[in-house]
């Protein structure tokens, strides 16, 4: 950076050592995320008026030096090691992102990354790929008033996960039939223990990953484990049937996951500015700081694009250009083709603020 900017190396190093902290970077990201939510274009990013769709997924990054969380994965890192940046995205805005090991099961972090979100944007529906599904996620997210809508890739396989509360013989003449019956008495009998687990998660005394690992150490006949898994079957069956019946829901889930893929492309482009797609660091804490810095840059780009789109939106609304309005709402703020990521960076300028109104004034849209 010192070779491509007007700031000397010793100043950059001192700034990094004294000011870059996970807490300060998280606060900076939250302020930008909240500012994006306040722009006029933000409501138009939503799929419907009933709630906000958030998507979760992990992105693989190599590391410069081996750390505790870094693991081998020949498919992604070749002979090197790497980590996973697990991200929660909502309306193109990366609300939360943290580093997990490449060997960790991403489904163990779905609830935690949503519940520990510190921004003002609160998704009401979470989407993810099949690796975000385990035997408890549907139940845990349901307990906290959240809908979990994963992107099912094999619907025929999902039909084997359908369960009912009544006798399965009642559904013999139905086109879609359950494969078994849920043991509701087992769930009712363990209500006290389940309430304690919900309270523990709500007070953040235990993470979701720790809870799932503890449940998996119990025997299959353990009543608490059995009750949670049985309740999860019930919620999962309801969500699966809703997914099969509602084509719009299926489209929303796909669009939500496509957005996080677009963010991953932006995130990858930022990571490769210095060369390889990796996080430069020596420790796990420095890896986390590097990840948060890249998320901050992504948030800045998304805010910049959203601010321009908001001004274009106001301009089109004033002129009554409905065709341009419809097209404008489909533009992604995660685009970066108009942003030059490489080159020489000038920080000691004349202090002038970018005049977005002047930029928009010269644009003819639609």
**Residue 90 forms beta bridges with which residues?**
54, 93
Contacts 24+ apart (CB under 8 A), 163-172: 163/233, 163/234, 163/237, 164/237, 165/234
For the chain, the domains span 2-361
Cα distances from 241 to residues 107, 163, 174, 236, in angstroms, run 21, 11, 13, 9
* Burial class of 309 by CB neighbour count within 10 A (0 to 12, 13 to 18, 19+): buried
Long-range contacts of 63-68 (CB under 8 A, 24+ apart): 63/278, 63/279, 63/281, 63/287, 64/278, 64/279, 64/280, 64/281, 64/282, 65/281, 65/282, 67/281, 67/282, 67/283, 67/284, 67/287, 68/284
114 contacts 148 by C-beta, under 8 angstroms: no
In whole angstroms, what is the distance from residue 322 CA to residue 319 CA? 9
- For residue range 282-309, list pLDDT tens digits in order: 889 999 999 999 999 999 999 999 999 9
For residue range 202-239, list pLDDT tens digits in order: 998 888 888 888 888 888 889 999 999 999 999 999 99
Sequential pLDDT tens for the chain (366 residues): 888 888 999 999 998 888 899 999 999 999 999 999 999 999 999 988 778 999 999 999 998 888 888 888 888 888 889 999 999 999 999 999 999 998 889 999 999 999 999 999 999 999 999 999 999 999 999 999 999 999 998 888 888 899 998 998 899 888 889 999 999 999 999 999 999 999 999 998 888 888 888 888 888 889 999 999 999 999 999 999 999 999 999 999 999 999 999 999 999 999 988 777 888 878 899 999 999 999 999 999 999 999 999 999 988 888 888 888 888 888 899 999 888 888 888 888 777 788 888 888 877 765
pTM to 2 decimal places:
0.92
Taking the C-alpha atoms of residue 280 and residue 266, their distance in angstroms, rounded to an integer, is 18
Query: How far from 8 is each of 5, 350, 351, CA to CA, in Å?
Result: 8, 18, 19
């Amino acid at each position: 950076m010192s070779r491509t900017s007007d700031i000397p190396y010793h100043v950059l190093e001192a700034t990094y050592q004294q000011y870059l902290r996970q807490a300060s970077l998280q606060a900076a990201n939250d302020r930008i995320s909240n500012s994006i939510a306040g722009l006029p274009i933000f409501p138009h990013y939503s799929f419907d008026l009933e709630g906000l769709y958030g998507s979760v997924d992990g992105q693989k990054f190599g590391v410069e030096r081996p750390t505790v969380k870094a693991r081998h994965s020949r498919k992604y890192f070749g002979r090197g090691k790497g980590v996973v940046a697990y991200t929660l995205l909502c309306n193109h805005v990366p609300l939360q992102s943290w580093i997990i090991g490449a060997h960790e099961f991403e489904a163990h972090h779905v609830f935690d990354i949503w519940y520990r979100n510190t921004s003002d944007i609160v998704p009401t529906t979470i989407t993810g790929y099949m690796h975000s599904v385990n035997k408890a996620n549907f139940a845990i997210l349901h307990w906290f008033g959240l809908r979990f809508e994963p992107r099912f890739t094999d619907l025929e396989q999902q039909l084997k996960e359908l369960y009912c509360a009544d006798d399965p013989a009642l559904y013999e003449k139905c086109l879609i039939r359950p494969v078994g019956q849920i043991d509701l008495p087992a769930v009712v009998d363990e209500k006290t223990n389940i309430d304690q687990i919900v309270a523990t998660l709500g007070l953040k005394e235990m993470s979701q990953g720790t809870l799932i690992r503890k449940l998996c150490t119990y025997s299959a006949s353990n009543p608490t484990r059995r009750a949670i898994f049985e309740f999860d079957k019930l919620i999962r069956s309801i969500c699966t049937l809703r997914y099969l019946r509602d084509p719009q829901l299926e489209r929303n889930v796909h669009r939500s996951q496509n957005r996080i893929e677009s963010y991953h492309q932006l995130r990858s482009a930022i990571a490769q500015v210095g060369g390889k797609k990796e996080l430069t660091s020596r420790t796990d804490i420095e890896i986390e700081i590097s990840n948060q810095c890249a998320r901050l840059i992504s948030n800045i780009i998304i805010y910049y694009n959203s601010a321009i789109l908001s001004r274009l939106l106001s301009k089109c609304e004033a002129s009554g250009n409905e065709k341009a309005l419809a097209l404008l709402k489909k533009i992604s703020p995660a685009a970066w083709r108009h942003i030059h990521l490489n080159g020489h960076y000038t920080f000691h300028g004349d202090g002038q603020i970018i005049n977005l109104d002047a930029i928009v004034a010269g644009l003819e849209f639609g």
